């Protein structure tokens, strides 16, 4: 099988993960070049993985007819215009989330993708977690009846810096955005959100106008209800769980632990803690999502996480912020009309 030539634009934390996966775990791919405005960062990744071509300007890669696809893992504020430029150059695109922090920029990027007729997949990796996908498939099958209540628990081990919070768009657009996408993946389209938030564990985040604890309720178009609870600080580890309660049963994906060993002694039964880092919890999902992207190019089919999916997650993030600020439920249509 001929391997697909692909280039990675952005070789920081997530970009370097994708580079290692492409070289070591995705035989369908041929990573031919890497790019980063910090040339020394890209050079280190290239040296580690034996990649022969390193550039500082992504437009050099877009001009290369032998590179049909790019993976974008640059800073969030650059995603939209690199997507636009890549689409206009005829490249298929995998882009880390979010596409942008403002909807107008997202719309510019998506218009270019549509005009060019290229594939675009957005990096919501949790859709590719086997446990979450099994819950979704079970619910979609109707085997346990109609979905009634979704509950998502998503808690980080430790809060970010105030500098990160200021640049990230805040909790609803940085952290909860994963759960917004997962809610749609599990149950369907969302019509309304109601968000409550507080600063309870990281007082410095108040400087950024952010929160560190939130509860968001959802009303789905099919009548189901949802609850998302987030915290920036779970001292016991990276806490990731969900349940879809249905009319004839329930499906749950429980938290994963570092190992499955249980030790019993005079003080009780003791199990391992959850992972401390998202890369420990979701390593296979980053491989699975890129393999699926490549398969969609080869088979000429729509990627499973589209530009529309990426846009809707940001719409939900803005609706949550509006709800939090105005202390009322907000329909997604209110945000959609503002664009």
- Which domains, ranges and CATH numbers included, belong to the chain? 4-118 (3.40.50.720), 127-283+313-336 (3.30.360.10)
Predicted confidence (pLDDT) at residue 80 exceeds the cutoff of 90:
yes
Dist. CA 190–CA 194, nearest whole Å? 11
Contact indicator for 154, 233 with CB cutoff of 8 Å: no
Percent of all residues in the chain with a pLDDT value above 90, rounded to a whole number: 87
Percent of all residues in the chain with a pLDDT value above 70, rounded to a whole number: 99
Dist. CA 183–CA 276, nearest whole Å? 23
Dist. CA 31–CA 24, nearest whole Å? 10
Q: Which of 120-129, 219-228, 263-272 has the lowest mean pLDDT?
A: 263-272
Q: What is the pTM of this model?
A: 0.94
The DSSP secondary-structure symbol of 129 reads: -
Mean pLDDT, residues 287-304: 97
Predicted confidence (pLDDT) at residue 113 exceeds the cutoff of 90:
yes
User: Rounded to 10 degrees, what is the CA torsion of 148, 151, 152, 157?
Assistant: 180
Q: What are the tens digits of pLDDT across the range 184-195?
A: 999 999 999 999
């Amino acid at each position: 099988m001929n391997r697909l030539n692909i280039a990675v634009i952005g070789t920081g934390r997530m970009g370097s993960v994708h580079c290692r996966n492409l070289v070591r775990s995705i035989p369908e791919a041929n990573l031919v070049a890497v790019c980063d405005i910090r040339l020394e960062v890209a050079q280190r990744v290239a040296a580690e993985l034996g990649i022969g071509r390193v550039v500082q300007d992504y437009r050099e890669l877009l001009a290369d007819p032998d590179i049909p696809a790019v993976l974008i893992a640059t800073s969030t504020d650059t995603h939209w215009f690199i997507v636009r430029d890549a689409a206009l150059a005829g490249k298929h695109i995998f882009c880390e989330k979010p596409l942008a922090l403002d909807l107008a920029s997202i719309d510019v990027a998506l218009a270019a993708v549509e005009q060019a007729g290229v594939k675009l997949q957005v990096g919501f990796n949790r859709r590719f977690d086997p446990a979450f996908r099994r819950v979704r498939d079970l619910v979609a099958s109707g085997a346990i009846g109609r979905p009634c209540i979704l509950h998502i628990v998503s808690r980080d081990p430790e809060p970010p810096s105030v500098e990160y919070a200021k640049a990230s768009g805040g909790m609803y657009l940085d952290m909860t955005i994963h759960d917004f996408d997962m809610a749609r993946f599990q149950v369907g389209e969302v019509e309304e959100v109601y968000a409550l938030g507080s600063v309870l564990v990281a007082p410095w985040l108040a400087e950024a106008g952010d929160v560190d604890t939130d509860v968001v309720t959802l009303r789905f178009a099919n009548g189901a209800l949802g609850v998302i609870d987030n915290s920036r600080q779970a001292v016991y580890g990276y806490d990731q769980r969900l349940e879809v309660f249905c009319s004839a049963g329930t499906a749950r994906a429980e938290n994963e632990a570092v190992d499955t060993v249980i030790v019993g002694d005079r003080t009780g039964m003791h199990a391992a803690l959850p992972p401390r880092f998202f890369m420990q919890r979701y390593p296979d999902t980053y491989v699975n999502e890129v393999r699926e992207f490549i398969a969609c190019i080869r088979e000429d089919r729509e990627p499973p996480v589209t530009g529309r999916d990426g846009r809707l997650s940001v719409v939900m993030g803005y609706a949550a912020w509006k709800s939090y600020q105005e202390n009322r439920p907000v329909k997604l249509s209110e945000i959609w009309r503002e664009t």
